[in-house]
């Protein structure tokens, strides 16, 4: 019993620390810094604030108002409105970055977010695919595009695996839903990056 409780505590910690909102806040900063140093970090901060900060604020406000049951929007019926708002924000950011001539890598990072939203958002209307694993897998693919891929994928496999384990252990997703998230996020990121970079 203690072992099961301990496992659930670890799983809860992994789920909270590596929530999609946190990854969306951090990924653009990492991408910008890796690809463009301090200037890239500045562009990453813009992307992080718009694509991560605004949706995160919507989630916090939604939980406080009762629109969402929790920060992970576990109730699938509550997801479409949030996905719609996020698509508008991310699409607007993509247009803005293109107009102002942002670095292509920052534009590609936002395009990956939009593609991942399009795939997972469509699926979640009928089936509760894991956004946690989709965002994590897409993040690994983006970083592997910029850094030596073999070590990134070795570490990334463990990272995504831990997140998938946490979601299944907590009963928030089945193994199939977690695996589908990995496939959707990884495929969306790969296709977008192949087209843009």
Interior CA angle at 157 toward 17 and 21, to 5°?
30
C-beta neighbour count of 185 within 10 angstroms: 31
Q: What is the pLDDT of residues 133-175, one digit of tens each?
A: 999 999 999 999 999 999 999 999 999 999 999 999 999 999 9
Q: What is the pLDDT of residues 88-136, one digit of tens each?
A: 999 999 999 999 999 999 999 999 999 999 999 999 989 999 999 999 9
* pLDDT at residue 174, as a whole number: 97
Rounded to an integer, what distance in angstroms lies between the CA atom of residue 33 and that of residue 48? 12
Mean pLDDT of 43-58: 96
* pLDDT at residue 136, as a whole number: 98
Q: Helices 2-17 and 149-169, interaxial angle, to 10°?
A: 130
* pLDDT at residue 1, as a whole number: 54
User: pLDDT over 70 for what percent of the chain?
Assistant: 98
* pLDDT at residue 197, as a whole number: 87
* pLDDT at residue 5, as a whole number: 77
The full DSSP string for 111-172 is HHHHHHHHHHHHHHTTS---HHHHHHHHHHHHHHHHS-HHHHHHHHHHHHHHHHHHHHHTTS
Structural domain span for residue 178? 2-196
CB-based contact 112:145 (threshold 8 Å)? no
Measured CA distances, 47 to 18, 103, 135 (Å): 18, 11, 16
197 vs 10, residue with greater confidence? 10
The pair of three-digit structure tokens given for residue 137, joined into one six-digit string: 């897998």
What confidence category does residue 2 fall into, taking pLDDT thresholds of 50, 70 and 90? low
* pLDDT at residue 141, as a whole number: 98
* pLDDT at residue 74, as a whole number: 84
Q: Which residue has the tokens 């894991």?
A: 130
CB-based contact 100:57 (threshold 8 Å)? no
Number of domains in the chain: 1
CB-based contact 144:138 (threshold 8 Å)? no
In terms of Cα–Cα distance, which of 170, 94, 78 is closest to 133? 170
* pLDDT at residue 72, as a whole number: 86
Mean pLDDT of 66-88: 91
User: pLDDT over 90 for what percent of the chain?
Assistant: 91
- Rounded to the nearest integer, the mean pLDDT of the chain is 95
In terms of Cα–Cα distance, which of 90, 87, 75 is closest to 28? 90
């Amino acid at each position: 019993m203690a072992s099961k409780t301990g496992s659930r505590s670890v799983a809860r910690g992994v789920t909270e620390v590596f929530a999609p909102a946190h990854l969306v806040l951090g990924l653009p900063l990492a991408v910008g810094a890796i690809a463009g140093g301090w200037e890239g970090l500045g562009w990453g901060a813009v992307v992080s604030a718009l694509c991560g900060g605004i949706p995160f604020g919507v989630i916090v406000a939604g939980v406080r108002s009762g629109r969402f049951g929790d920060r992970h929007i576990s109730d699938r019926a509550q997801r479409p409105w949030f996905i719609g708002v996020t698509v508008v924000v991310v699409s607007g950011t993509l247009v803005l970055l293109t107009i102002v001539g942002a670095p292509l890598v920052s534009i590609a990072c936002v395009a990956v977010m939009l593609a991942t939203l399009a795939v997972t958002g469509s699926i979640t209307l009928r089936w509760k695919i894991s956004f946690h694993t989709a965002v994590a897998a897409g993040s690994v693919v983006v970083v592997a595009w910029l850094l030596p891929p073999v070590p990134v994928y070795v570490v990334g496999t463990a990272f995504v695996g831990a997140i998938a384990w946490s979601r299944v252990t907590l009963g928030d997703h089945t193994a199939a839903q977690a695996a589908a998230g990995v496939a959707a996020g990884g495929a969306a990121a790969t296709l977008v990056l192949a087209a843009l970079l």
